[in-house]
Structure 1
Amino acid sequence: MESDKKKEKIIGGAFLAGVAGASLVFGFGMTLAMAKRKDPSFFTKGLIGSKEAPESGGSLAIRALGWGTLYAVCGFGLFCFGAWKSLGVQNLKEFRQKIGEMLPQIPKKEPQGRTEFKNLRELLNYVIEESEKSKRS
């Protein structure tokens, strides 16, 4: 029973990943085709370096991605190091406790309705029923 649910979730995740990947490839391909159709000469100049633009668009994008990644990782690492040192903690457990004391407590409340559904159809039926109840009230 448990393995059936796990298998169903894996299949559903694989399907969603496949649809997302296909739409990504299709969208990117359509954008490239539209750009090439609009102005073929500039499209070619973007792919291959020339006198006007000594660096191609692809290599420029890769370089920008590399520098952006480096800045993001180093910047966030520096932020985390600064927070760690300013709190004066020695390990992750102390860090978690200090942050927990500083942040406001979120009150836990019991759910008002159902929270577990077997499938999407059951969820949608529940939402429709609740909507109809609120319209009658």
Structure 2
Amino acid sequence: MTKSISFIRTGFFLFIGMVTCLLSSCDNEVDIQQAYPFTVETMPVQERIVRGETAEIRCELKRAGRYDEARYTIRYFQPDGKGELRMDDGTVFLPNDRYTLEREVFRLYYTSASSDQQTIDIYVEDNFGQCTELSFSFNNENEEKEEVLK
């Protein structure tokens, strides 16, 4: 009788130990991926521009995955030349100010205000700290045409 009580007691403690191990390794939270890599693809953009001319930049945000609470912003910086960048909804960007990107397919318009070489750097960021940079350079196209001597 003592052996059977000892056997039952040992079995009970083994059962409690296994249940404790199994329950302690469970996690009630579902692991949801929030930050997905992304890129911004553009159509080819003209490289020559004259003062006052506008170049169109067609863009599409390509996301590797979807998370409902992912938010994207856009900003730009102009290290060379002078000009104005605006969104297709009419929003005129100020350098280094962030603007909410509401759509995945959008157009930007750069208007030259300089006759020098111009460069704009565009940054699209998500709310998880990931960033994609686009850089565009425009050369001045001389408005004056050389006269052909006969």
Interval of TM-score (by shorter of Structure 1 and Structure 2) = under 0.3
Higher strand fraction: Structure 1 or Structure 2? 2
Bigger relative contact order, structure 1 or 2 (CA pairs below 8 A, ≥6 apart):
2
Higher helix fraction: Structure 1 or Structure 2? 1
